[in-house]
Amino acid sequence: MDALGASVSAPTEHPFSGAAEARWVAPGRLVEASRVLREAGYFFESMTCVDRIAAHGVFELIYTFNRWEAASRVAFRVWAPATEPVPSISGVFGAANWNEREAWEFYGLAFSGHPNLTWLLLPEGTEFHPLLKSFTAPPASSYDDSLTAPPPPDDAHPPAHH
Amino acid sequence: MGVVTPADRELDALAAEAAPFARLAMVEDVLNLARANSLWPLTFGLACCAIEMMAAGASRYDLDRFGAGVFRPSPRQADLMILAGTISRKMAPVIRTLWDQMPAPKWAISMGGCTISGGPFKYPGEYAISEGAEKFMPIDVHVPGCPPRPEALIAGLLKLEEKIKRGRRFGRAG
Amino acid sequence: MRTHPPTTDPLDTYTLNMGPQHPSTHGVLRLLLTLRGEEIVTAEPVIGYSHRAHEKMAENRTYAQFLPNTSRQDYLSGMIYNFAWVEAVEKMAGIPVPERALVARVILAEFNRIASHLLWIGAFLLDLGAPTPFLYCWDDREAILFLLESVTGSRLTYASGRFGGLARDLDADFPRRAREVIAKLRARWPEYDRLIEDNVIFRNRAIGVGVLTRDQCRSYGVTGPTLRGSGVPYDVRKAEPYGAYPRFEFDIPTRPEGDVFARYWVRVQEMRQSVRIIEQALDQLPGGPFLEPGSIGVKKRLKLPVGTQYYAVESARGHYGILLVSEGGAEPYRAKFRTPSYPNLAVLTEAMPGTLVADAVAILGSTDLVMPEVDR
Q: Evaluate the omega torsion of the peptide bond into residue B147 and state whether it is cis, within 30 degrees of 0.
A: yes
pLDDT grade for A4, boundaries at 50, 70 and 90? low
**Alpha helix positions (H), A25-151:** 30-39, 53-56, 96-107, 145-148
Chain C neighbors (3+ CB pairs < 8 Å): A, B
- Tens digit of pLDDT for each residue in A27-69? 888 898 899 888 888 999 999 999 988 888 888 999 999 988 8
pLDDT grade for A8, boundaries at 50, 70 and 90? low
Which residue among A14, A17, A93 sits closest to C219, beta carbon to beta carbon? A93
pLDDT grade for B30, boundaries at 50, 70 and 90? confident
Q: Do C21 and B98 touch (CB under 8 A)?
A: yes
- Tens digit of pLDDT for each residue in B36-89? 888 888 888 888 888 898 888 888 888 888 888 888 888 888 889 999 888 888
Q: Three-state SS string across C123-176, please?
A: HHHHHCCCCHHHHHHHHHHHHHHHHHHHHHCCCCCCCCEECCEECCCCCCCHHH
pLDDT grade for A156, boundaries at 50, 70 and 90? very low
> Is C75 part of the contact surface with chain B (CB cutoff 8 Å)?
yes
Q: Which residues 131-150 of C are in CB contact (within 8 Å) with B? A: 134-136, 138-139, 142
Rounded to a whole number of angstroms, the distance from the CA of A162 to the nearest CA of chain C is 37
CA pseudo-torsion sign C139, C145, C150, C156 = negative
Domains defined along chain C, listed by start: 14-374 (1.10.645.10)
CA C272 to chain centre: 16
Which residue among B2, B28, B127 sits closest to A156, beta carbon to beta carbon? B2
At C4 the pLDDT is 57
At B90 the pLDDT is 86
At C291 the pLDDT is 82
Which residue among A18, A43, A48 sits closest to C311, beta carbon to beta carbon? A18
CB distance A75 to A63 below 8 Å: yes
At C337 the pLDDT is 93
Residue in chain A closest to C221 (alpha carbons) equals A44
> Is C22 part of the contact surface with chain B (CB cutoff 8 Å)?
yes
Q: Do A142 and B127 touch (CB under 8 A)?
A: yes
At C198 the pLDDT is 83
Which residue among B47, B123, B147 sits closest to C50, beta carbon to beta carbon? B47
In terms of pLDDT, which residue wins out, B10 or C211?
C211
Q: Which residues 233-272 of C are in CB contact (within 8 Å) with B? A: none
Residue in chain C closest to A17 (alpha carbons) equals C309
Chain B neighbors (3+ CB pairs < 8 Å): A, C
CA angle C300, C302, C303 (to 5 degrees): 150
CB distance C44 to C349 below 8 Å: yes
Q: Which residues 340-359 of C are in CB contact (within 8 Å) with A? A: 342-343, 346-347, 349-350
Which residue among A15, A48, A123 sits closest to C323, beta carbon to beta carbon? A48
User: Per-residue pLDDT averaged across A85-104, rounded?
Assistant: 90
> Is A13 part of the contact surface with chain B (CB cutoff 8 Å)?
no
Average pLDDT, chain A: 80
At C147 the pLDDT is 92
Q: Spell out which residues of chain A touch residue C92, defining contact as CB-CB under 8 Å.
A: 17
Taking the CA atoms of residue C149, residue C152, residue C158 and residue C163 in that order, the dihedral angle to the nearest 10 degrees is -170
- State which fold the A2-149 domain adopts: Beta Polymerase; domain 2 (3.30.460)
In order along its 376 residues, chain C shows pLDDT tens digits of: 455 555 566 677 888 888 787 766 677 888 888 888 888 888 888 888 889 889 999 988 888 888 888 988 888 888 999 999 999 998 888 888 899 999 999 999 999 999 999 999 988 888 888 888 888 888 899 999 999 999 988 888 888 888 888 888 888 899 999 999 999 999 988 888 888 888 888 888 888 888 888 888 888 989 999 999 998 899 998 888 888 899 999 999 999 988 899 999 999 999 999 999 999 999 988 888 888 776 666 666 788 888 899 999 999 999 999 999 998 888 899 999 999 999 999 988 888 888 888 888 888 888 888 888 888 8
